[in-house]
Structure 1
């Protein structure tokens, strides 16, 4: 059977003598009822469903058809050239008995992923999960309340509602199947149309796979579900994700670079993600963690990341976009564009750290382009940060509008921002930051073009703070006036800065303040500074002649 026959949706339906509507019986279709499957939600169908898959596989391939009904099942193994088709109204209902899930060799025994899965495939090719049916993992049966004290209202900004539950353990080990769907070293994987619901852990992980298409699926996991990532694309290449609707309790779409199955850590590369709608209490689109290998040539476009207005703060997205490298790998060639965000805590988070280091792979994060972002209702400052010895390189933000309602305090500007080189990367890792819009540190080659930073609540901090940044280009910055005497932009130890085409808002004390003994080559050209009380302030520790101004309207 060729690829087109396998993956195309069949139109061969007929009315049977019993008044049931089903696919025409032919050599390419296997109705699971022929193997004894009963869709009553009570009968355990693991053996019948697996026999149908085996029959299709032994015949050289075809479609295993699951008609309307609820089919209770343990773990299933999908085989090459087999398409599992769930009819509208059909549900594969995962068993709540851990003994019904076979242990598959490979992943680490602890952590969020393990060896048990509701649907598993390894070294298979031309496999598919399609239809308008549902895969339901009955996740809440595998969790228990933590009974933790309620977080204080002033701490909700850094809390996560999923902390209210944790996985049930037996003999110190998690019993939940996670990921619910796991595809290992497979080629030509196609997932379309299905609803993936109530995953006990991670929902879907293709790992070490080649050519993966995920289209038009829905993920519906409880927002309080611990570690219920929507997708974890791991060490795959040639991946196409589109038209997906994900609501979950952990990262919605997460790219990872690790190999728990042994062997080299392959690159995550040639990945396109578009036309998706994402909501969660963790991160919307995230690269990391783990980040032990390379991320190359990745695009994320034309999507929405949101929380409802009624969602409590600790149930909101932590970072809309998180690009992280902390485990010794590399990031290069990331393009993110046309993203709308609503009520996301932190719109942008870019982080290079050294949580773990891999001597065989030079750590780097470079070549990131983010454009056409519109974020409203944000609560925390966006940031781009590296370390003194591991610097973020070549990042460009263009046509970005961020509206914040945080209402920060002027004393936060004086807080020392910790480096946190070994910390788990998260947008809240530094505490409250000294800027209300964007904070950048240890970056080489930063271009900010047509950036609009708006504080909808009085905020006493500068809009933009750059610390130890080299080769900074700021064009067309527009921002709200701080509610205190703070400048609009603050540069510390910045070397090679060009600010042009910017405008000072009415009543701002100073458009720019410059400090730091390492400051060099700061230039202001062609800005409208007429509404500022002072064009710029140069602190005494700045070398003479380091700041120059020409052609500005004052």
Structure 2
């Protein structure tokens, strides 16, 4: 348990801010097409959905069997490669019907770790997984997603595909060991560079090349994620610290019933080092986590462009409760991969502040992405300082103003947000042919805003009891 959740703060978090809300009916992927873009029902009725969503999100439970990796030859000296020991321990655990694969104190060097059904990977205090810097240790290629597009690529460092009941728990550290000379250097323009491969992958997706023929990996430069759980059901990530991923740190894709609790993401320096990016997932709880990242802290996604339309799977019923956001491009972000649609997002009791936190609340998409964003609710958000707008909704991401797939964005509600210092309160940019449809802010205070707001091509922009620089607006 992190120290910050002791005492009164711990009791407040456990009590929750939704305890007095009314029960709500169930939700499913089918709901994604039943409401217009402006949102549905009243704000109180929307928040009344939260208890039912939360009841459905249940962490998996595991048999009381323990499989220490040291039993299978792992040595925690930081130099002996333990990849095979992890593989054997996980296989034995799953074959026995499930249990805990135990990582005792020590530093364990490994390549890709693939989880199996009914396996909890548990890192004891003092345990560190350090991942090899050799790309060959993440081969053969696996079915994965790179920035919203499916392909065959280097394995994520911790990976599961089509699994049920998987967990990563404990108080140890998962260290991707990426730095300016390993993995992060692929993000730049001088060779080796990911740019040609990103362009090739985008062309393949647009042309409908089957996923199994989109083979990258060796000889290519598309960076893997640190943790990616793909098409899994009943997922738990709890207590661990993750750091220095090649790119996105925690990336559940097409998963159902996901709990991410009391996790620390300490990765402020790497390019695209998002904290947690649930993509095309249903029923997700992110609670009591800390994020210090090189990109968005939490980014809710749903596939990109042609491939997102092919898969056509939304993210729905995502709860972000009592988290702390420091460095990052956005505190709680939706997009830019919005093609499959994002709906029913709730964030509350979050604290965000850093001279390098660019925005607190952010929605980003463009006319190549398409899709929709609706029924998004924030309340009781504290922002100490931000480096750009406190609230941003931008439909021109990557400076793209026109295209064949205008996104449908609206029904965004913010209540009881208090911001200290930032350049501006609002940066809202729609399109003359495709306005933002509905941004409502109530009972909120923006204390020291240095510049004028940008509000362009927005319908239904409502401010109720909102104060900016000491004046009610």
Distance 2:358 2:196 in 1: 30
Other-structure match for 2:263: 217
Other-structure match for 1:443: 458
| Higher RCO by CA contacts (8 Å cutoff, separation 6 or greater) | 2
Aligned partner of 1:7 among 54, 61, 65: 61
Other-structure match for 1:464: none
Change in CA separation of 1:177 and 1:298 when aligned onto 2, cut-off 3 Å: same
Deviation of 1:107 after TM superposition, in Å, equals 3.2
The question of whether the paired residues in 1 share the 8 Å contact of 2:176 and 2:246 is answered with yes
Change in CA separation of 1:213 and 1:57 when aligned onto 2, cut-off 3 Å: same
Larger Rg: 1
Change in CA separation of 1:240 and 1:331 when aligned onto 2, cut-off 3 Å: same
The question of whether the paired residues in 2 share the 8 Å contact of 1:125 and 1:188 is answered with yes
Instruction: Please state whether the residue corresponding to 2:125 is helix, strand or coil.
Output: coil
Instruction: Please state whether the residue corresponding to 2:278 is helix, strand or coil.
Output: strand
Deviation of 1:293 after TM superposition, in Å, equals 1.8
The question of whether the paired residues in 1 share the 8 Å contact of 2:415 and 2:443 is answered with yes
Say whether 1:351 aligns with 2:388: no
Say whether 1:199 aligns with 2:245: yes
Instruction: Please state whether the residue corresponding to 1:290 is helix, strand or coil.
Output: coil
The question of whether the paired residues in 2 share the 8 Å contact of 1:142 and 1:168 is answered with no
The question of whether the paired residues in 1 share the 8 Å contact of 2:144 and 2:230 is answered with no
Other-structure match for 1:105: 143
Aligned partner of 1:87 among 120, 124, 128: 124
Other-structure match for 2:468: 453
Deviation of 1:185 after TM superposition, in Å, equals 0.5
Instruction: Please state whether the residue corresponding to 1:179 is helix, strand or coil.
Output: coil
Q: Which has the higher strand share?
A: 1
Say whether 1:251 aligns with 2:290: no
The question of whether the paired residues in 1 share the 8 Å contact of 2:347 and 2:377 is answered with yes
Deviation of 1:229 after TM superposition, in Å, equals 0.7
Deviations 1:65-104 (A, max 9, x none): 1100100000011011111011011111100111111221
Structure 2: which 5+ residue stretches go unaligned?
A: 1-56, 198-219
Instruction: Please state whether the residue corresponding to 1:231 is helix, strand or coil.
Output: coil
Distance 1:446 1:196 in 2: 39
Say whether 1:189 aligns with 2:235: yes
> Number of residues paired by the alignment?
384
Deviations 1:126-171 (A, max 9, x none): 100001111100011425679xxxxxxxxxxxxxxxx999995499
Change in CA separation of 1:29 and 1:329 when aligned onto 2, cut-off 3 Å: same
The question of whether the paired residues in 2 share the 8 Å contact of 1:35 and 1:48 is answered with yes
Deviation of 1:384 after TM superposition, in Å, equals 2.1
Q: Which has the higher helix share?
A: 2
Change in CA separation of 1:109 and 1:198 when aligned onto 2, cut-off 3 Å: closer
The question of whether the paired residues in 1 share the 8 Å contact of 2:274 and 2:293 is answered with yes
Instruction: Please state whether the residue corresponding to 2:70 is helix, strand or coil.
Output: helix
Deviations 1:321-372 (A, max 9, x none): 102342211111100111111220220101234667566xx73112111111
Distance 1:295 1:250 in 2: 20
Instruction: Please state whether the residue corresponding to 2:87 is helix, strand or coil.
Output: helix
Deviation of 1:6 after TM superposition, in Å, equals 5.8
The question of whether the paired residues in 1 share the 8 Å contact of 2:160 and 2:230 is answered with yes
Aligned-residue RMSD, C-alpha: 3.0
The question of whether the paired residues in 2 share the 8 Å contact of 1:165 and 1:224 is answered with no
Aligned partner of 1:290 among 337, 355, 358: 337
Deviation of 1:391 after TM superposition, in Å, equals 1.5
Deviation of 1:439 after TM superposition, in Å, equals 3.0
Structure 1: which 5+ residue stretches go unaligned?
A: 11-25, 147-162, 409-435, 455-477, 480-501, 504-554
Change in CA separation of 1:270 and 1:53 when aligned onto 2, cut-off 3 Å: same
The aligned runs of 1:303-452 (5 Å cut-off) are 303-307=350-354, 311=355, 316-326=356-366, 327-345=369-387, 346-353=389-396, 363-404=407-448, 406=450, 408=451, 436=452, 438-452=453-467
Change in CA separation of 1:145 and 1:297 when aligned onto 2, cut-off 3 Å: closer
The aligned runs of 1:96-175 (5 Å cut-off) are 96-102=133-139, 103-108=141-146, 115-140=154-179, 141-143=181-183, 169=193, 175=221
Other-structure match for 1:544: none
Change in CA separation of 1:170 and 1:355 when aligned onto 2, cut-off 3 Å: closer
Deviation of 1:176 after TM superposition, in Å, equals 7.1
Deviation of 1:385 after TM superposition, in Å, equals 2.6
Deviations 1:164-190 (A, max 9, x none): 999954996665752110111000111
Say whether 1:76 aligns with 2:76: no
Instruction: Please state whether the residue corresponding to 1:50 is helix, strand or coil.
Output: helix
Say whether 1:238 aligns with 2:253: no
Deviation of 1:105 after TM superposition, in Å, equals 2.6
Change in CA separation of 1:404 and 1:138 when aligned onto 2, cut-off 3 Å: same
Instruction: Please state whether the residue corresponding to 1:139 is helix, strand or coil.
Output: coil
Instruction: Please state whether the residue corresponding to 2:90 is helix, strand or coil.
Output: helix
Change in CA separation of 1:107 and 1:241 when aligned onto 2, cut-off 3 Å: closer
Say whether 1:272 aligns with 2:312: no
The question of whether the paired residues in 1 share the 8 Å contact of 2:314 and 2:341 is answered with yes
Distance 1:181 1:68 in 2: 21
The question of whether the paired residues in 2 share the 8 Å contact of 1:176 and 1:201 is answered with no
Distance 2:260 2:414 in 1: 23
Deviation of 1:399 after TM superposition, in Å, equals 1.4
Distance 1:195 1:165 in 2: 31
